[in-house]
Structure 1
């Protein structure tokens, strides 16, 4: 069996589901010391201690790719059973088993430029490159908006839309979310109505004191992006679900 080198073990790993690792270990009746011994004896990870195993399970540190593979072997499961939900551009890439070079080449970026985007967790590609990225990594629309850094601006626009007295901001939202106009208008209208049901006063702007405006208004505004995706998901036509469904990048 091939043994991981120290440098490989230090490489950043894929998203890790710490609670799943603990559940699998306890289901097997193993203590952290048994897992650590298995990793040392069978996989050559001589530095692994029971404390390190507990650190992984408590989310204090994240195992690398080779460490996750070895841990899955010790716990008699697949690496997928230990995979958490990807949250960053790098984690989505790793979840698809792609190298940074593969992604850079596929979307038409210089490797150094793409690597810098992963390092800073900030997408700076063109609209066309963004569409290629979404297709390559099989991103849902919420994932796409999140990893390209558009979510804070989207939240701001959605709050402004639901609390405004008059015009909605369909065009501004459409610049961030590649959705056809009809479902986008329907979603924004539904958000406004839902917000109005929660408060008798509709302020001109979100000022951080929404909890005092009415029952549930503050929590609604705090979770406005989540509410937006939920409303879109309830619409009958889900062609918007992936970037490109509304002609994005064309």
Structure 2
């Protein structure tokens, strides 16, 4: 089995914060039902060995430390989110009503094949925000493309599809798309204004660069608007 991400330095720092000896950490893990010698704790901290998933969970509990801290990362993949919530792959699969073999394939290939119901259950079990779910199931790029189509064209025609994909209230999405459409329109107005006024190329490039940066940040701007009500 693939070993989980693990930071020896974070493990040492976590133990130091608790003022615990390796023997005390090993004892704490044993009380959680996983007996390991103090030498195993020292080997993990030295980087000469890496804990298994179950050992990582027990170590985090013994150190009163979140698993992501010991992994030294912010979860971005399905496996990392799962580890962060201390689920084994099989237990998570059962929790969301998915065949464990199908879940294992989805996690190893980074290609989500779950149903809408399983996706909602996954987000709930792992405490994932909507944008994190989209990233994990590989649909963030699809949302970004839809948003760009909406701001460049008829935003109302995209409201339902965007709301479904983003799993957001359709009325909030409509208000957000209306605001984004207006914001995008201002770039075009400025660009055309400079063009008609025969401004220099530098002014035109400046507006084009600002518009490109705005489009790049469009998904985040959309999230801000939907969370605030769309205006």
Structure 1 length as normaliser, TM-score?
0.62
- Residue 139 of structure 1 aligns to a residue in which SS? coil
Structure 2 length as normaliser, TM-score?
0.66
Alpha-carbon separation, structure 2, partners of 1:41 and 1:138: 34
* Structure 2 equivalent of residue 87 of structure 1: 76
Contact 1:211 1:218 in 2 (8 A): no
Contact 1:170 1:185 in 2 (8 A): yes
1:233 aligns with 2:231: no
Q: Give 1:190 shift.
A: 1.6
- 1:129-185 residue CA offsets vs partner (Å, 9 max, x unmatched): 111111111211111222121101001000111111665411221231111211110
Alignment CA distance shift 1:159-1:212 (3 Å):
farther
* Structure 2 equivalent of residue 222 of structure 1: 216
Which of these two proteins has the greater Rg computed from alpha carbons? Answer: 2
Alpha-carbon separation, structure 2, partners of 1:219 and 1:64: 42
1:149 aligns with 2:147: no
1:128 aligns with 2:117: yes
Q: Give 1:234 shift.
A: 2.1
1:187 aligns with 2:176: yes
1:13 aligns with 2:11: no
Q: Give 1:187 shift.
A: 1.2
1:45 aligns with 2:43: yes
Alignment CA distance shift 1:113-1:166 (3 Å):
closer
Alpha-carbon separation, structure 2, partners of 1:105 and 1:77: 27
Choose between structure 1 and 2: higher helix proportion. Answer: 2
Alpha-carbon separation, structure 2, partners of 1:43 and 1:114: 31
Number of aligned residue pairs: give it: 195
Contact 2:148 2:215 in 1 (8 A): yes
CA RMSD after TM alignment: 4.0
